[in-house]
Chain A
Amino acid sequence: MGPMASPSFEVGRPTDLDHTLSRLLEKSIRRSTALDLESLCIVTAQRVWSLRADLHFLSHDGNLIDTACIATITALAHFRLPVVTVSGEDITIHPVTERVPVPLSLLHWPICVTFSFFGEDDDGEMVCVLDATAQEEALREGDMTVTVNKNGEVCQISKSGGVAVEAETLMKCARMAAQKVKGIDKLIAAALREDEVARNKGNLDWLKEGRSENER
């Protein structure tokens, strides 16, 4: 997170938001075992793949958590691992030009949905906003992030402080989140499919790109 996203972020000085974000993503994606770690093993107890996801925030107008989560999941789903064959002691990593690389085995797509609470309205109902802008985030009285996958399974809920929310409201939020995630899931799938089609059109550009992808 740097000053590109917003001048309020200083270089090399992580903000609270940084910590919250990395902790939430860690909880949402890694600890929900979205990625089958065993599939990244090449030789048991000897060789494994190491995956690294770099997140760059380019423009900040609120809801960084949800966007970061969607971006990470999409990147993981888009990533292709080169094929490896093991025969005895020999390990061969086939270049992508030789064997079509394989996608990662993602067991499910956990997606974060953040609610911003603005206190109760006249009828005693909690006012909550989804996908808040930076201004709304600055004014909110509390927030909660629910991580759900498209099957409606909650992976993680985090609500640190802020305005007190009734349990019933939480249930309502979780249900709403499950609904929203279905839509987001479809969007990601559609984007991935579109990309697939564009790549397989027969131009050789994707080979070039595929190569640089592996160098990362």
Chain B
Amino acid sequence: MTSTMSLDSPSIILPGDPLPQLSPLLTPPSSDTSTTTDTKPRSLRLGPGLTLSPTTPSTPILPYRYGTLNLNTHIKRPTASILSTPRHYHPSTNDPVLVTLLRTTAEQFIVQLTPYTPPAIIPFENYIINNAGTTASARKSRPNLPIGATIYARVAVVHKHLESVELTVPDPTFGEVISQKNTSSSSASSTSNQKNKKESSSIPAATATTGASSIANRAEVTPYILSTSQPMTKLLLAEETLGKPLLTAMAAKIPFEMIVGKNGRVWIDAATQKEVIKVVRCFKEFDEAEAWNDEDGGLAKGRYIVGKVCGK
């Protein structure tokens, strides 16, 4: 992401709109299909929201969602996509996700990515349990996960014609979320730190010590898994920009940890059960109010909600 060319006026693009901005990036139309899909330099990569349309010769690239054009004119790898935030999660490769275990078969874990959609799978050979790269293929190394367990994983393969989305647990910082915390506090803290550095950084140094390690020692607190809308999820992931107003306001009141799954699930933990619930409530209310649509990006509303839930 070196030179993101932002348009002067980020106008809304509707499905089917012609995109003259893209034509300079395209190599002669004779070899359209090959250049836009392979990885050769000077070929335009199409991100979500854009597709090739052979039927309309005037606009070989067809936007199929509404949103704004996100154009990256990097010399080597120009990319274009449509920025939009539908509520539904569409899995794409390398997304970190929080999934629920539905059942275990002979070769794989069957997990739920989002409700009412076909289940995804984690093949055992994709489930790496330690730093040495041991997979869960062998029976004795297989983690005995109860049904309903939450697993932090990463999307490996998405293909629309494939039976299901394939996930992977690439290293021990991923994996089962709740029990991991009870068994080995070290890996839990690394898991959460990874997603959570922002919490310690945005809160004053004194409270920053209430990091993962101290939290991980209490067994009586059950972390909460909150379902969030896609815009909210993106906001929580973008800690320095979009999510900042809410996260700073929140972290100033209660130190907490979270793991954000792009599929709209957020794992939240704090020092006490009450605090967990408070954080959850704040996020939920912010989400329901769609506060990011406000002029100030939800700054005022975020402060108001946090103040209301946590007291002054």
Chains A and B in contact, CB within 8 Å:
yes
A residues with CB within 8 A of B: 7-8
State the Cβ distance, A197 to closest chain B Cβ, in Å: 28
CA distance A7 to B116 in the complex (A): 7
Chain A residues positioned under 8 Å from B115 (CB to CB) = 7
The residue on A at minimum CB distance from B227 is: A135
> B interface vs A, CB < 8 Å?
115-116
Instruction: For the complex of A and B, list the 3 residue pairs with the smallest distance between their C-beta atoms, beginning with the closest.
Output: A7-B116, A8-B116, A7-B115
- Does more than half of chain B's interface fall in helix, strand or loop, or is it mixed? loop
A7 to B115, CA, bound (A): 9
Q: With the chains together, A115 CA to B43 CA distance in Å?
A: 61
> A147 to nearest B CB, angstroms?
29
Contacts of A8 in B (CB 8 A): 116
Q: Give the shortest distance, in Å, between A111 (CB) and chain B (any CB).
A: 25
Q: A7–B87 Cα gap in the complex (Å)?
A: 14
Complex interface: chain A residues within 8 A of B116 (CB) = 7-8
Q: How would you classify the secondary structure of chain A's contact residues: helix, strand, loop or mixed?
A: loop
CA distance A8 to B115 in the complex (A): 9
Name the CB-closest residue of B to A61. Answer: B288
Can you spell out 3 A-B residue pairs with CB atoms less than 8 angstroms apart?
Answer: A7-B115, A7-B116, A8-B116
Alpha-carbon separation in the docked complex, A151 to B116 (Å): 44
CA distance A8 to B116 in the complex (A): 8
Across the two chains, which residue of chain B brings its CB closest to A7? B116
Rounded to whole angstroms, the CA-CA distance of A143 and B175 in the bound complex is 36
Bound together, the chains give a CA A204 to CA B293 distance in angstroms of: 36
In angstroms, Cα B116 to Cα A145, docked, is 29
| Bound CA–CA A8/B117 (angstroms) | 11
Please, how many angstroms separate the alpha-carbon atoms of A29 and B116 in the complex? 35
Separation in Å of the A59 CB from the closest CB of chain B? Answer: 11
Min distance, Cβ B201 to any Cβ of chain A, angstroms: 32
Say how far B179's CB is from chain A's closest CB, in angstroms.
19
B203 to chain A, nearest CB (A): 29
CB distance from B150 to the nearest CB of A (A): 15
Residues from chain B with Cβ under 8 Å of A7 in the complex: 115-116
Write the nearest CB–CB distance from B300 to chain A, whole angstroms: 25
Q: In this complex, what residue of A is CB-closest to B284?
A: A133
- Cα-based distance from A7 to B114 in the complex (angstroms): 12
Instruction: Quote the shortest CB–CB distance from B310 to chain A (angstroms).
Output: 20
In angstroms, how far is the closest chain B Cβ from the Cβ of A1?
A: 16
Chain A residue nearest to B225 (CB atoms) is: A135
Cα A13 to Cα B85 with chains together (Å): 33
Q: A134 to chain B: closest CB distance in Å?
A: 10
Residue in chain A with minimal CB distance to B288: A61
How near does chain B come to A35, taking the closest CB pair, in angstroms?
35
Q: Considering the chains assembled together, what is the distance between the CA atoms of A164 and B116 in angstroms?
A: 33
A10 to chain B, nearest CB (A): 11
* Nearest CB of chain A from residue B295's CB, rounded to whole Å: 27
A81 CA to B198 CA in the complex, in Å? Answer: 62
Q: How far is the CA of A115 from the CA of B115 in the complex (A)?
A: 26
The distance from the CB of B54 to the nearest CB of chain A, in whole angstroms, is: 34
B252 → chain A closest CB, angstroms? 27
Nearest neighbor of B115 in chain A, beta-carbon distance: A7
B287 to chain A, nearest CB (A): 12
CB distance from A133 to the nearest CB of B (A): 9
Q: How far is the CB of B309 from chain A (nearest CB, A)?
A: 16
Find the B residue at minimum CB distance from A3. B116
A7 CB to closest chain B CB, in angstroms?
4
Q: How far is the CB of A152 from chain B (nearest CB, A)?
A: 32
